[in-house]
Amino acid sequence: MPEDTEPYQKEKIIVWDWSGVNLHHESQGIEPKITDSIQYHCIERLKAEDYDIIYDDDYSGEIADIITIKKTDEKFSIQLYHLKYAKGGRVSREVENLYEVCGQAQKSIHWRFKECTEFFEHLLKRKTKSRNGKQCSRLAKGSEQDLLGFYSLAKRNELKVEFEIFIVQPSIPKMEATQEQLTLLGVTENYLMEKARVKLAVIGSKNMSN
């Protein structure tokens, strides 16, 4: 790690209750949804927040596993949630649980530099989630009409666009996170801010007994 890069501050890790969630199940799939998956649990929690759009972008070609959007008079506020299952389905101090998801977070910042219209075109093009002969809407909150409206606004280029990236890894124990885990998260946080001025948030568990 570069000498000027600080480890991620343990105090900033957001703790969620993962009761009833199989930490080895990452994706919710297609109807019927896997209701004990990490993705399903995240989406249900996010539904309680004040977002205009909650979008399941999982599978090949994704921007992130979950995307949320809130429009204000001044800007589009966009959150990219990158999820990863816990190795062995349990909370642990294993840094291996973070390598892939940190890489995904770093790669996704290129969307910060694309035209906003391209972002909404991606969502509209992928609005139906399909696999193995099954399909469902990717919209967990909001509608295709909402996306079309946002796309029209984006074409006028009148609103700012602000991104935030979330790493969701239930295996991270906030109270017992290792220096190695915090170092990797710190490198990722620094990269996002240095390259794209994008903030990183991390969601994990309280401790290893969760």
Is 4 inside a domain boundary? no
Give the CATH number, domain containing residue 87: 3.40.91
Asked whether residue 2 is assigned to any structural domain, the reply reads no
Domain that holds residue 115: 10-205
What is the b/e burial string over 46-82, where b = at least 16 CB atoms within 10 angstroms of the residue's CB? Answer: beeeebbbbbbbbeeebbbbbbbbebeeeebbbbbbb
Alpha-carbon distance 154 to 144, whole Å?
15
Q: What share of the chain is helix, strand, coil (3-state, %, to 5)?
A: 35, 25, 40
- pLDDT over threshold 60, residue 12: yes
pLDDT tens digit sequence for 25-51: 999 999 899 999 999 999 999 999 999
Asked whether residue 36 is assigned to any structural domain, the reply reads yes
Q: Is residue 3 part of a domain?
A: no
pLDDT tens digits along 199-209? 999 999 987 66
Higher pLDDT, 93 or 128: 128
189 in a structural domain: yes
Residue 210 resides in a domain? no
Determine the pLDDT at residue 1.
Answer: 47
In the chain, the amino acid numbered 4 is: D
The pLDDT of residue 3 is: 55
Residue 158 lies in a domain: yes
Report how far apart, in Å, the C-alpha atoms of 24 and of each of 45, 85, 124, 204 are: 19, 5, 30, 14
Q: According to the model, what pLDDT value does residue 131 have? A: 87
Burial (CB < 10 A; 0-12, 13-18, 19+), residue 110, is exposed
Asked if the model's pLDDT at residue 122 lies above 60, the reply is: yes
- pLDDT of amino acid 21: 96
Q: Is residue 1 part of a domain?
A: no
Q: Which residue has better confidence, 197 or 132? A: 197
3 state DSSP class of 98: helix
| Mean pLDDT for the chain overall | 94
Rg of the chain on CA atoms, in Å: 17
Number of domains in the chain: 1
Q: Which tens digits make up the pLDDT trace of 72-85? A: 999 999 999 999 99
Per-residue pLDDT tens for 147-174? 999 999 999 999 999 999 999 999 999 9
Statement: residue 146 has pLDDT above 90: yes
